[in-house]
Structure 1
Amino acid sequence: MDAGPFPFDVYEDQCPTRMVLDRLADKWALLLMLRLADGPLRFNQLRRDVKGISQKVLSQTLKKLERDGLVTRTVYPTVPVTVEYALTPLAQTLREPVEALTRWAESHMDAVQAAQQAYDAGAAAR
């Protein structure tokens, strides 16, 4: 398949873009990026805002996003130490598509649930 103007081809099994897609397909990563879209937040504020995420998963996800260049971590020398997380300019380029995906999920959830129920009913009849 022609990769077009880009040097990567997501359909190739060793293409590094698959790692990026995997990261962006992670619900916690998307939720954290959405939450940080309006500005920097501290760790505990993120934990309070993103219901259901454990402290361990929050920490792991923020580290992965930081490694990928999507989140910055700023440490302030206060007592106790204050740490803020913010989206990078690179991550800001994802804001519109991530928000669109979220709006789609929220506005089509009834149709998805109806499809799941219909599928499950048909599977039970087989």
Structure 2
Amino acid sequence: MPELFASGRIVDGILVLVALEAVALLVWRWRRGRGPSPLALIGNLASGASLMLAVRAALTGADWTVIAGFLLASLVAHLTDLCLRLRDEQPEALRRRSQSSEPGTSPETAAFTARTQPGMISP
């Protein structure tokens, strides 16, 4: 077991498991129509894989620039994943409104569709 860590081979095994996880999740999405989008999945797994490669580089005595490069790659992948998640969580009404180039209100906006609470005075 010490040889696995000293040589960094333990990280190789973990990366193989991560690749298998990616394939399994993509197959799940293809067959069931549910699960993370391929782009979100790649961003998430690339971030973790880059961190593991940084650990591998440190275990094998690589130059600090190699380790820093893997850490930077992990940051970029993480920020990409975060941006995708935030974009996907934006409510549909906000997405529609932000894409509209027409100013003002329409029958679909909250002013027209809001219901009054019992006891509230309607305008």
TM-score bucket of the superposed structures, by smaller chain: under 0.3
- The structure carrying a bigger helix percent of its residues is 2
TM-score w.r.t. length of structure 1: 0.25
Q: State the structure with more CA Rg.
A: 2
TM-score w.r.t. length of structure 2: 0.25
- The structure carrying a bigger strand percent of its residues is 1
